[in-house]
Structure 1
Amino acid sequence: MKRCRVLQIFFFLAVTAVLSGCSVSYSTGKSSDTVSTLLDSVSGSSTSMSGGGDVASIMQGYADDIAAVTYLWVSEKKSEEQFLRLLTAVARTHGIVDWEQTSATFEAMGRGLYQAGIPREGIVKLPFFRKLAGNARYALVLQGYTQV
């Protein structure tokens, strides 16, 4: 579990650096490739836009990365804007065009919240999730939370 936590912290710092304009590559135009590489190393999924793997393994890698981003967002108390940027980056890396219409996104968020130790009744108090309260997406978050 400690190894997972270290990888999650590394992932968060690396993605934050990339999204802040710091490039680990030789070219600033390669930032999406850098994000893809970082996500692949964290989740073990090398099945994003380059192909390979079946749909189930692609979606599992995506869900694992969304859960990790959610966990880190809550743990590091980052802004909602940063959270949305990270979600978008993860989705793009995995070839997801509209993460807000993908149920796996919200279920994985629930898993990340559970892993971060957020009590079920505390979810609705978090800025991003407050807006979801009472709708189908919030139900998916709770479903992911309880399936851990």
Structure 2
Amino acid sequence: MKLKILLLTLSLTLVFQNCSIVTSISNSSDSLNSISNSVIKLSDSVNSLSRSISSISGSLKGNKPESLYKTDVRDITALYAKDGLEGNFQKDISKIALKHGISDWEAYPATYIAIGEGLRKAKVEPNLFNRFHTKIENKESALLLKVGYTQNL
């Protein structure tokens, strides 16, 4: 009889210990889920902050795609202006446009503004500018070229 009581006591002890282990595992799982959710929220916050910093940084630098394109076109125009825009000028403008994702630079208004700015940057005299300006057949492009040449850099 004592053996039966001992076995029953041992069995009950094991059952209660197993319940305790299951409860501990369940509590640990809940804690891990809570930690995981916190990490996800933190990651979202970091990503949001990173996007905000990038946006602010881009705004401060003025690094808009069109602005970068115009800067490149203006600078190459100023270099070529010394040779009367001869040589590979149009080919180089085309390469710059493609680099910036522009397939038809001649139809892109910012190109002509930037060329005008480049001529001004190179200090091309007004009479030379007018000779170049009159060669532009498209009236809108010619006007944009003049806008770039006459506006303040």
Q: Considering the TM-score relative to the shorter chain, is it more than 0.5?
A: yes
The correspondence for 2:106, drawn from 100, 104, 111, is 100
The correspondence for 2:64, drawn from 41, 57, 67, is 57
The correspondence for 1:142, drawn from 117, 127, 146, is 146
Stretches of structure 2 lacking an aligned partner (at least 5 in a row)? 1-57
User: 1:91 offset after TM fit, Å?
Assistant: 0.2
TM-score (norm 1): 0.56
The aligned counterpart of 1:131 is 135
User: 1:124·1:133 contact (CA, 8 Å) conserved in 2?
Assistant: no
User: 1:133 offset after TM fit, Å?
Assistant: 5.7
Larger Rg computed on CA atoms: 2
User: 1:147 offset after TM fit, Å?
Assistant: 1.4
Say what the alpha-carbon RMSD is for the aligned residues.
Answer: 2.4
* Identical counterparts, % of pairs: 28
Compared CA separation, residues 133 and 122, structure 1 to 2 (3 A): farther
User: 1:103·1:137 contact (CA, 8 Å) conserved in 2?
Assistant: yes
TM-score (norm 2): 0.54
Compared CA separation, residues 133 and 78, structure 1 to 2 (3 A): closer
Compared CA separation, residues 64 and 75, structure 1 to 2 (3 A): same
CA separation in 1, counterparts of 2:141 and 2:129? 13
Q: How many residues align?
A: 93
User: 2:77·2:85 contact (CA, 8 Å) conserved in 1?
Assistant: no
User: 1:134 offset after TM fit, Å?
Assistant: 7.1
Q: Which has the higher helix share?
A: 2
CA separation in 1, counterparts of 2:88 and 2:113? 20
Stretches of structure 1 lacking an aligned partner (at least 5 in a row)? 1-52
- Paired residue secondary structure (1:61): helix
CA separation in 2, counterparts of 1:77 and 1:132? 15
